[in-house]
Amino acid sequence: MTSPVALRDLPSVDRLLRAPGAEAMANAFGRPLATEALRVTLDETRRRLREGSSDETIPPDHDLVSEARDWLEELLAPTLRPVINATGVIIHTNLGRAPLSDDAIAAVAAVAAGYSTLEYDTATGRRGSRAVHVESLLTRLTGAEAALVVNNNAAAVLLMLSVLGRDREVIISRGQLVEIGGGFRIPDVMAQSGARLVEVGTTNRTRLRDYAEAITPDTAAILIAHHSNYKIVGFAEEPEPAELAALARERGLRLLFDQGSGALRDVGPFGLTPETTVLDGLRAGCDVVAFSGDKLLGGPQAGILVGRGALIDLLKRHPLARAVRADKMALAALAATLTQYLTGRADDIPIWRMIARPLDDIAATAEAWAARLRDAGIAATTAPSESWVGGGSLPGESLPTRVVVVDPGPAGADALAARLRAAPTPVIGRIHDGRLLLDPRTVLPGEDLVGSVIGGR
């Protein structure tokens, strides 16, 4: 064991603060953090000396300073950072969902860099409302009487039920009592809102008469919820929104629609199974429709509520609306994204570029990438596969693609995937049959996937 004399020879923090490199570290990170880093480094060195062999020596002062700087850099390294999404999942919840368009990025940068008209009316010189920045765009796009934006769709649903269903019954099909990522459950949100859940039908079949028979004098509304991340196939049945709207009108109820996915476009032309869009829900007679801004809409995280003016006004005036309101950057990005829809430029939104990308173009990219990897000594081929829309949108729907198949060698696919995740810009692929698959569909223009793979192998 190391003698006590060796431990006493450890430098003090004050001495290390005067050592080469310490001043630069203090300037870069601040003196308090630099001092803490040096203390941590000395404690770790003391532990190693106590537990090490008798020939263990005390590192030079400059090495201790260098170790302290490494500790600080690791401590302060951002954990929220860009990655290259090569999974083939277009709206990847864990990877930030929809990437923003150039227009949306520019709009965010413009309002983030300085002051803005978030709640200021330049015409009157008085306080304004943040609702005006997107409401007219949403009403023009959807035909709704009014609109409100909050911070995400879970908040939109919570606000809608808190205002329009509290202390009363809200009827929903058992087949729509979904749980999505992060443990978000429709029944739990309904309970939190104060609405009393009334389940009707069965998991796979709910008929119009099930709703009609469940209505009581205490019923406030009927709720339709998007299936999100699962699909019922085979022996299944649900009433159309128009049928439920007619029943709601006949019985003096409100029809609420958690559309969820944010689809404003018909996805049929892209080879995907159509679903009820926001516009379909409103045309069918839904009183309020709630949906996401960062799924099939292709914008920032946001919860959007559109519908009858009198009901949206009630939502705007509720105290919860302030607690869940959207910030200036989300509103700027959403306004830019909605403008692209209004001006016929939705195809420039990244998720729609990915969905519409021709298979021949994807295959050519995959072949070129595989050739570059082989030139670098990495065994790679291409193969047919599938991409997914993801993000709780269009459950079970896939698009044909062509992937790069990387042979990981003796270390195995898990080890290769871990090395790529540790790259300066992490590359996230998927593992299948012991090989790593990289899908060009979800790799954005300008991202150097091949260079990152070669550097991280």
Starting at the edge strand that comes first in sequence, how are the strands of the sheet with 196-200 ordered?
A: 146-150, 303-307, 288-292, 254-260, 219-225, 169-173, 196-200
> Percentage of residues in the chain with pLDDT exceeding 70?
95
Can you tell me which residue has the tokens 């540790």? 422
CATH number at residue 363: 3.90.1150.180
The residue type found at 61 is D
Of the listed ranges 2-11, 253-262, 408-417, the one predicted with least confidence: 2-11
Q: Are residues 30 and 162 in the same domain?
A: no
Q: Are residues 122 and 44 in the same domain?
A: no
Domain boundary among 345, 373, 396: 345
What pLDDT is attached to residue 7? 78
The model's pLDDT over 353-381, given as tens digits with 9 standing for 90+, comes to 999 999 999 999 999 999 999 999 999 99
Q: Are residues 428 and 387 in the same domain?
A: yes
What pLDDT is attached to residue 4? 52
Going by C-alpha positions, the residue among 251, 257, 235, 341 that lies closest to residue 296 is 341
Distance between CA atoms of residues 170 and 219, nearest Å: 6
Per DSSP bridges, beta strands 146-150 and 303-307 are: antiparallel
Q: Are residues 327 and 377 in the same domain?
A: no
What pLDDT is attached to residue 176? 85
Q: Are residues 338 and 365 in the same domain?
A: no
Where would I find the H helices in 226-347?
241-250, 278-284, 309-317, 319-323, 328-342
Q: Given a cut of 50, is residue 2 above it in pLDDT?
A: no
The residue type found at 21 is G
Q: Given a cut of 70, is residue 150 above it in pLDDT?
A: yes
- Which phi-psi region, left, alpha or beta, contains residue 394 (left: φ > 0; alpha: ψ -120 to 50)? left
62 phi/psi in degrees, rounded to 5:
-65, -30
- Which phi-psi region, left, alpha or beta, contains residue 405 (left: φ > 0; alpha: ψ -120 to 50)? beta
Q: Are residues 26 and 148 in the same domain?
A: no
Banded model confidence at residue 77, pLDDT cuts 50, 70, 90: very high
CATH number at residue 192: 3.40.640.10
The whole-model pTM stands at 0.91
Q: Given a cut of 80, is residue 111 above it in pLDDT?
A: yes
The model's pLDDT over 154-185, given as tens digits with 9 standing for 90+, comes to 999 999 999 999 999 999 998 888 776 656 67
Banded model confidence at residue 6, pLDDT cuts 50, 70, 90: low
The secondary structure of 55-114 as a DSSP string is T--PPPHHHHHHHHHHHHHHHHS-SS---EE-SSBSSBGGGTBSPPPHHHHHHHHHHHSS
- Please list the residues that pair with 219 across neighbouring strands: 169
Can you tell me which residue has the tokens 């091949």? 450
Q: Are residues 418 and 397 in the same domain?
A: yes
Domain boundary among 297, 329, 345: 345
Q: Given a cut of 50, is residue 27 above it in pLDDT?
A: yes
Q: Are residues 138 and 246 in the same domain?
A: yes
DSSP code for 11:
P
Q: Are residues 269 and 332 in the same domain?
A: yes
The model's pLDDT over 180-201, given as tens digits with 9 standing for 90+, comes to 665 667 788 888 899 999 999 9
- Angle CA 197–151–149, to nearest 5: 90
Of the listed ranges 32-41, 47-56, 95-104, 339-348, the one predicted with least confidence: 47-56
Q: Given a cut of 80, is residue 315 above it in pLDDT?
A: yes
Q: Are residues 331 and 183 in the same domain?
A: yes
Q: Are residues 297 and 228 in the same domain?
A: yes
Question: Count of domains in the chain?
Answer: 3
**If residue 440 lies in a helix (H) or strand (E), which one and from where to where?**
none
Distance between CA atoms of residues 10 and 24, nearest Å: 22
For 416, the domain range is 84-92+353-456
What pLDDT is attached to residue 162? 96
Q: Are residues 282 and 303 in the same domain?
A: yes
Domain boundary among 345, 372, 392: 345
Mean pLDDT of the chain: 92
85 phi/psi in degrees, rounded to 5:
-90, 100
- Alpha-carbon dihedral sign for residues 286, 291, 293, 295: negative
